[in-house]
Amino acid sequence: MRKKQKIVAALMLLVALHLAILLAGFIAPYNPATQNRDFPFVPPTRFHFADARGHFHLRPFIYQWTVRPEGFNEYEEARGREYPVQFFVRGPEYTIAGLVRSDVHLFGVEGPARIFLAGSDGFGRDQFSRIMYGGQISLAAGLLATGISLFLGLLVGCISGFYGSWIDESAMRLVELFLVLPWLYLLLAVRSFLPLHISPTQTFFLLVAVIGTIGWARPARLVRGIVLSAKGRKYVTASRGFGATDSYILRRHVLPHTYGVLLTQAALLVPQYIVAEVTLSFLGLGVSEPVSSWGNLLANLQQYNVLASYWWMFAPALALVIISLGYLKVANAIHERLQSDSI
């Protein structure tokens, strides 16, 4: 019973995170590309309940940041005017999943103040909004690439396990080759053979294809093992005896056994692939500006002064860790469940 609750909790967390990122437009207060050159590297906004005169406010409020007179990129709160945090405010227009258009945002403050939940970057863009939108790219890359890997793995594993002989032999050699290679080296190598200067959309799909193609080996091997053992079952022989075709046997008797493994693999691969996308973008081989992804957001930290002075630029890393943790919990839970089922 406790185990079940754990799965449910982890799943809920993941669903909430994905939903939030899908609804980035609504949750993020600003357009991720809007620059605010007067406010580069603004620290995260502080929330207050008590104002300068000691009055308590039920609704939290913020002060606007102003540049400290003597410092460079250093800010202090302008205590002159309070800006209460408002919910469901109108702001810049956005679309959700390319379908719903709206301009209502979850929260915001009245202008000219701006609310920077996770500070701002060198162009004064709201980092929280950039993380939300960047999450769309990173998550989509992870999910799509996982889809590709699982599809390829399922395909190769099924054919290899079901038809055996030389097909199996050669497929498994190839699997070993892919398993033993350091994936990042391979990823870089493959990426290096692809054109560098292409549109962000093309880059994104190329990236997904490359990441997805590299990770097919482990699912393929696991699926093959399951197909092999399922194929040897008596009920498969019996099914042949009724005149069942290969495709019927695969569909009805073999594939259902692979779902558990595919699910576990998915939960393991998605965070890995999100990290792969982040890594490539971080290294400048992935999604590039002005489109944001967690990778190129983190790439800001490659500049020494950013790393040393602006701790809030680590915020995308936190998002990455939370997502990874959620997937890991789910993967563990599914794995435990499968093991207790098989006994």
Partner 1 sequence: MRIEETARHALKPALAKAAGLSKRYVQRAPFSYKSFVIDALVDVEFDIAPASLTALVGESGSGKSTLARCLAMLEKADRGEIWFEGKEVSRSSDRELKALRPKIQMVFQDSAGALNPGFTAAQIIAEPLEVQRRESGARLHSRACELMEEVGLSPNWADRRPLEFSGGQRQRLAIARAIALKPAFLILDESVSGLDLSTQAQILNLLLDLQKAHSLTYLLISHDLGLVGQIADFVAVMQQGKIVEQGPRREVFANPRHHHTRELLASVRLLRSNFRTAQAGGR
Partner 2 sequence: MKYLERRVIHGLLLLIGVSILCFALSAAAPGNFFDEMKLNPQISPSTVAGLRARYGFDQPLVWRYGHWVESVLRGEWGYSFAYNCPVRSLLLVRARNTLILTGLATLLAWLIAVPLGVWTANRRGRWDDRLSMASTSLLLSVPELVIALVLLYWAVRIHTLPVGGMASVDFGGLGVQAKLFDLALHLVVPVTTLVLASLPLLVRHIRASMIEVLQAPFVQAARAHGIGGARLLFRYALPAAANPLSSLLGLSVGALLSGSLLVEVITGWPGLGPLLLDAALARDIYVVVGAVMASTLFMIFGGILADILLVAVDPRVRLGKV
Q: Establish if 84 lies at the interface with partner 1 (CB under 8 A).
A: no
Q: Establish if 240 lies at the interface with partner 1 (CB under 8 A).
A: yes
**Cα 126 from Cα 44, distance rounded (Å):** 10
CA distances from 12 to 32, 175, 194, 196, 307 (A): 27, 35, 38, 39, 34
CB of 186 to partner 2, least distance (A): 7
Q: Which is nearer to partner 2, 109 or 285 (CB)?
A: 285
CA angle 95, 96, 98 (to 5 degrees): 70
Q: Establish if 46 lies at the interface with partner 1 (CB under 8 A).
A: no
Q: Which is nearer to partner 1, 230 or 320 (CB)?
A: 230
Count CB atoms within 10 A of the CB of residue 7.
Answer: 16
**Segment near partner 2 (CB under 8 A); pick from 96-104, 155-163, 240-248, 328-336:** 328-336
DSSP-derived pairing of the beta strands 75-84 and 56-67: antiparallel
CA distances from 248 to 65, 124, 236, 251, 257 (A): 67, 59, 10, 5, 14
CB of 217 to partner 2, least distance (A): 12
Work out what residue 248 binds among partner 1, partner 2, none; the CB cut-off runs from 5 to 8 Å by kind.
partner 1
Q: Under a CB-based contact definition with an 8 Å cutoff, are residues 298 and 316 in contact?
A: yes
Work out what residue 253 binds among partner 1, partner 2, none; the CB cut-off runs from 5 to 8 Å by kind.
partner 1
Work out what residue 47 binds among partner 1, partner 2, none; the CB cut-off runs from 5 to 8 Å by kind.
none
Contacts of 186 (CB under 8 A, 6+ apart): 178, 214
Mask 245-284, x = binds partner 1 (CB under 8 A)?
---x---xx--x----------------------------
Q: Establish if 238 lies at the interface with partner 1 (CB under 8 A).
A: yes
Q: Which is nearer to partner 1, 192 or 342 (CB)?
A: 342
- DSSP class of 252: I
**Segment near partner 2 (CB under 8 A); pick from 84-92, 128-136, 194-202, 250-258:** 194-202
Q: Which of 18, 25, 21, 15 is nearest to 108 (CA)?
A: 25
- DSSP class of 244: -
3-state secondary structure of 198: coil
Q: Establish if 237 lies at the interface with partner 1 (CB under 8 A).
A: yes
Work out what residue 181 binds among partner 2, partner 1, none; the CB cut-off runs from 5 to 8 Å by kind.
partner 2
Q: Under a CB-based contact definition with an 8 Å cutoff, are residues 266 and 149 in contact?
A: no
CB of 195 to partner 2, least distance (A): 5
Count CB atoms within 10 A of the CB of residue 300.
Answer: 18
Q: Which residues bind partner 1 (CB under 8 A)?
A: 233-235, 237-244, 248, 252-253, 256
- Residues forming contacts to partner 2 in the complex (CB under 8 A) are 173, 176-177, 180-186, 188-196, 271, 275, 278-279, 282-285, 298, 301-302, 304, 307-308, 311, 314, 317, 320-321, 324-325, 327-329, 332
